[in-house]
Structure 1
């Protein structure tokens, strides 16, 4: 519901309505943008009327009706007229500004509609239970072992059962994966945490990572074999301030595969790679249409290809094909990402 004080902005002498736009912008950016655009259009109309009056003043020299008092009230009338005209149909300038500036509002499409991943309030967030990690039972056993009475026998048993936990080291994830099942079971929980409220389906993220890494068997590594944990083949361009590794990669130029040397981003963990992937899409305007289809896996993959994420002409189709693989079906209980009905 619109603040009543905003309606008062239709009177040019009341500045309280303009101040209310700051509050409105926190709740409804699109409505606040339209009000600001109308105010700007009224300023434009006021300047236009002012110029027209100046042209008419040349012909009214010597007229006893052309006094300072009449000019004062005439200016008041013109200012209110400009606000009223802009608040109604106007000249169309406000509509043009809304279409242009809507593209710069986070979470909004160019036509002013919210993106599929946009969350305007708490009611828009998912209310399903947080998926339980397959590693939870093992972690619980380690915690119970640490809470046991401190004795030589107990300590020895705890060290034998969970040496990593006793030593204080986090579980080490493999640098390469032996099977698609291991790849999915290890990385799907990380994808779910990284997806957050972005709207991107974690299964689609894992499928794309499987395509980029050959199910984890062809990981990007440095010259010394150090892992980069780069699951999505994101290159280290000028915007990247972290570490990188240089490898020879295949790029498609004019439909032909060519070998090229390129620098790729290096991460401290696979979870960092998932989080950077989400941030990479959200912070790049070229992927705005991709995120608008975040709840449509097939369309998401197709738009990802169209946006130029990869040079492989069959990139989107390959991602969708991987979504039907048995490894993903088994890890998710036989469920595939649902397509939204249009």
Structure 2
């Protein structure tokens, strides 16, 4: 039995009946399809009747009863007439449409009835919980045993981590006794980190020596916290890590001035080397510098030209360190020892 809202779909001026058809389509697709097919047949007959009446327009010329108002009410009558006809016997077009379209609607079989097993709403799904496995208690005990074993190992792991940290702190001093100590400690690390960057590890150590005064003037916070910053890279808006705020010397239009600035802080020297390479590779203005990475002197001059530092003699100072007899002797000996150790 149709609802009153669905009955209203039989009047062409009542649009709420169309919404009722949408609602019915969720639960009874066959009945909704039949009703929509009748609505389509009504539109088809309305167009036929409109074409037939247009033939008489020639004979209606000059008739004082032929006016826009009479045409308006005549069209209303025709629309309701065709809708009523489609709800009764009609032309049979609605039956053909319903049979044809029912084969294409999900959840309906060829006969237009609801297909077996079709799930139209969430209420059609089985909501019962599966039975618990009889092995579940045993599996819970196994998981508890594993978690207790892991918890028992954590104290030992903490001791091992502490020992490793202490070893690292011993191997990597916060200050260096001499340039030789500086080079022998950091050059192997620079060689390992350089990797595919193509940067000569010697030029990295030479630049770090210039920035830190051979490790004797490392960047530290007011409370003595070590930054391990070997290359004087500042903590700009792109830096998300720790930072140290100090007074530094900068050249402004050739004049040396003291300024307060924030510098990046690292957990160790290796992180400083890695960030230095990443800093150059991520910054487009050092693209030409990296292109000559295999040439230490050109690389040093390229850093100056790209504006790495405000010191006008920055590149020349790096080259001076690179070409010094003592630096070449120490680096040559250190690299030779590393190569023999790898063999």
Question: Greater Rg, structure 1 or structure 2?
Answer: 2
| TM-score normalised by structure 1 residue count | 0.49
Structure 2 length as normaliser, TM-score?
A: 0.48
